[in-house]
Amino acid sequence: MRLNIKNSVFFLVSIALLQSCANIVAPTGGNKDTTPPKIVESKSTPNFQTNFKKQRIELTFDEWVKLEDAFNQVVVSPPLNEQPKVEQVNKKIVFEFGKNEVLRENATYTINFGNAVKDLSEGNPAKDLRFVFSTGAIIDSLTVRGRVIDAVTGVPTEGAVLMLYDNLADSVVRKIKPFYFGKTDKNGEAIIENVREGKFKVFALLDKDLNYLFNQDVEKIGFPDDFFNVTAEFTASKLRSDTAKITKRDSLSKADSLKRVAQANSGLINIRLFDPPKKWQLLTKETDKYGVIKLIANQDPTGSKVTFDNVNQKIATEISKDTILLYYDLPSGDAAWNVYVKNDTSQTDTIRIRPRGRVDFFKKNKTLVPLNMQSSFAKNPAKAFSLTFANPIENIDNQKIILLDSAKKSTPLSIRRDSSSQRRLIFEANWVEGVPYNLTVQPDALTDIFGLKNDTVTTKIQVQKKAELGTIIIKVKGLDSLKHYVVQVLSGSGLVEAEFFVDNKTALEKRIEMMQPDEYKLKVVEDTNRNRRWDTGNYDKKTQPERIFWKTIEGLRADWEVETEFDINQ
């Protein structure tokens, strides 16, 4: 029995040793390998071929390699109709076209491997690994460079596709894959190499479904105002909004195989990426809960007109972000009625309301309650404060709302409903800095549209001292006196703390006092249609998104004054 156990252990150890010998592993010990894998040209499919016929492409390296994330890293321009097969075989990377793939005539193709090919030991990626061929007699050798940024934030956009079309029709971006394309890096820059001379339509796309077609309104897009002329000259091609340059590439030879030749481009095609306008759609219609109708749209419904059948109901409308809220009460019966939402495209949605469950509603709701109540809080002396309640306020008894200072002396108080929401009350007074106040909303001071009244509401208000706050001075220059602008100061959380509308001026200077210590940004919107808000672009109407200019303001500290000068032309 002991002999059998010995033999079994020896057998298992032997099998394990044989398996480890059969597996290919990275070598250990010695100096760290920092050299990327290199092509062995004599054993690889010749690069930079002309009159190329569809064939299996093999790239042989001087060491063992591995293939990672080929689907995203390996990019072919012009794009192929079928997904190619890319695999690693020993020291080779093999690229095979789809069975039914038909290559374009007289076109130069580039297969860019990105960082997909790495050595086995340390994962060093092969540098500038590209395979170039032409189905015609020459290899095109021009280079186009572009830069794509987000139209709202101004931040470079990574992963956008910069595309060139030889077909200049407007519909081409929705129907045909581009003739050339390149993907933007973390700096928002894309390089398209081996481009031929000619006139091209330029289009940028954040391609959600990876089909190189603009076929979804959730895909961000961008475009220059004019076609783009690619020439072999060292000349600038002027766009309406930007200047771009094309330079001639150095001659290619087999010695340059799979190496990117340095370019001397001094300009970029600059494109601002934006969300295209969406076709109006109500995504959600919640009508089964008595007393409130909730409609959620696929875009801001601010410009929509909301009307309804009059069946003697009480009703209050509130619009916020993508949501329309209608609070209603119908004491006299349960007659069905309609709500009509008409948007700026003249489309009208009709929502049928059948008010059921009023008795159950009043069983569950006995009083009017505040939603954002705090027992105490600090308050800026220059600003009002607000309380938001569960339901729209119909009546206010000012005599039952009392504000007392630290000496328990009554302080005059102004109370009004917010114009954007009847659920929110705004309280204003001549606040004295550094003084604590007590606010009491006595029972039955407020009545909502359902007839519900409040219980006692109390809160302590500590008004801040000016020394706890700071001052920001903004000086905006470079404005066009014929244009309209919206100038905003935003807090670190993105809230608008100050806003100014500018007309017929070339500069703006404002002093904003009693600001909370924070990090702030200055935002200037070139409001071309004078609607006092930013508007996106429209490809079909050939309109660009309104320009936004950003400036970071020096961090504001307590009892501090910060001055920011901003020339939007610089």
Q: Which CATH number fits domain 282-364: 3.30.2010.10, 2.60.40.1220, 3.40.50.450, 2.40.50.100?
A: 2.60.40.1220
pLDDT of 44-74, one tens digit each? Answer: 999 999 999 999 999 999 999 999 999 888 9
CATH of domain 142-273: 2.60.40.10
Question: Do the bridges between strand 470-477 and strand 508-515 make them parallel or antiparallel, or are there none, so unpaired?
Answer: antiparallel
Domain covering 41-134: architecture: Sandwich (2.60)
d(CA 507, CA 388): 38
CB atoms within 10 A of CB 297: 21
The one-letter code for the residue type at 273 is: L
pLDDT of 441-474, one tens digit each? Answer: 999 999 999 999 999 999 999 999 999 999 999 9
In 3D space, the residue among 455, 462, 236, 242 whose CA is nearest the CA of residue 367 turns out to be 455
Query: Token pair for residue 477?
Result: 């220059």
pLDDT mean across residues, the chain: 87
Indicate if the pLDDT at residue 549 is higher than 80: yes
Indicate if the pLDDT at residue 158 is higher than 80: yes
- H or E element, residue 565: strand 561-567
Give backbone dihedrals phi and psi of 455, rounded to 5 degrees, phi first.
-90, -175
- Write the secondary structure of 242-278 as one string of H (helix), E (strand) and C (coil): CEEECEECCCCCHHHCCCCCCCCCCCCEEEEEECCCC
Q: Helix, strand, or coil here: 355? A: coil
Q: What is the mean pLDDT of residues 383-390?
A: 92
Residue 301 is predicted with a pLDDT of 87
376-464 and 142-273 share a CATH fold: yes
Residue 239 is predicted with a pLDDT of 34
In 3D space, the residue among 89, 37, 31 whose CA is nearest the CA of residue 63 turns out to be 37
Contact in structure between 221 and 202 (CB atoms under 8 Å): no
d(CA 274, CA 214): 13
Indicate if the pLDDT at residue 9 is higher than 50: no
d(CA 355, CA 330): 8
Of 237-246, 326-335, 482-491, which one has max mean pLDDT?
482-491
Residue 115 is predicted with a pLDDT of 87
Cβ partners under 8 Å of residue 421, min gap 6: 318, 320, 388, 392
- H or E element, residue 524: strand 521-526
**C-alpha Rg value of the chain to the nearest Å:** 34
Angle at 365 between CA 361 and CA 371, to 5 degrees: 125
Q: What is the mean pLDDT of residues 167-186?
A: 94
CATH of domain 376-464: 2.60.40.3710
Contact in structure between 468 and 381 (CB atoms under 8 Å): no
Residue 343 is predicted with a pLDDT of 82
Indicate if the pLDDT at residue 174 is higher than 50: yes
d(CA 70, CA 213): 21
Contact in structure between 111 and 76 (CB atoms under 8 Å): yes
In 3D space, the residue among 232, 250, 141, 226 whose CA is nearest the CA of residue 192 turns out to be 141
Q: Give the CA distances from residue 309 to residues 292, 324, 339, 357, in Å, rounded to whole numbers and listed in that order.
A: 16, 17, 7, 20
Q: Does domain 468-567 have CATH number 1.20.1250.20?
A: no
Residue 29 is predicted with a pLDDT of 53
Indicate if the pLDDT at residue 260 is higher than 90: no
pLDDT band of 186, cuts 50, 70, 90: very high
Q: Identify the sign of the CA torsion 523, 529, 534, 538.
A: negative
Question: Do the bridges between strand 198-205 and strand 548-552 make them parallel or antiparallel, or are there none, so unpaired?
Answer: unpaired
In 3D space, the residue among 500, 503, 495 whose CA is nearest the CA of residue 512 turns out to be 500
pLDDT band of 475, cuts 50, 70, 90: very high
Residue 243 is predicted with a pLDDT of 32
Q: Helix, strand, or coil here: 127? A: coil
d(CA 239, CA 225): 7
Greatest extent of the chain over all pairs of C-alpha atoms, in Å: 103
Question: Do the bridges between strand 385-388 and strand 376-379 make them parallel or antiparallel, or are there none, so unpaired?
Answer: unpaired
Give backbone dihedrals phi and psi of 4, rounded to 5 degrees, phi first.
-65, -40
In residues, how long is the chain? 570
The domain limits of the chain are: 41-134, 142-273, 282-364, 376-464, 468-567
pLDDT band of 15, cuts 50, 70, 90: very low
Query: Token pair for residue 203?
Result: 């289009």
The residue with greater pLDDT, 262 or 22, is 22
CB atoms within 10 A of CB 263: 16
Contact in structure between 67 and 117 (CB atoms under 8 Å): yes
The residue with greater pLDDT, 305 or 233, is 305
Q: What is the mean pLDDT of residues 179-199?
A: 92
Angle at 196 between CA 192 and CA 198, to 5 degrees: 110
In 3D space, the residue among 144, 162, 253, 159 whose CA is nearest the CA of residue 203 turns out to be 162
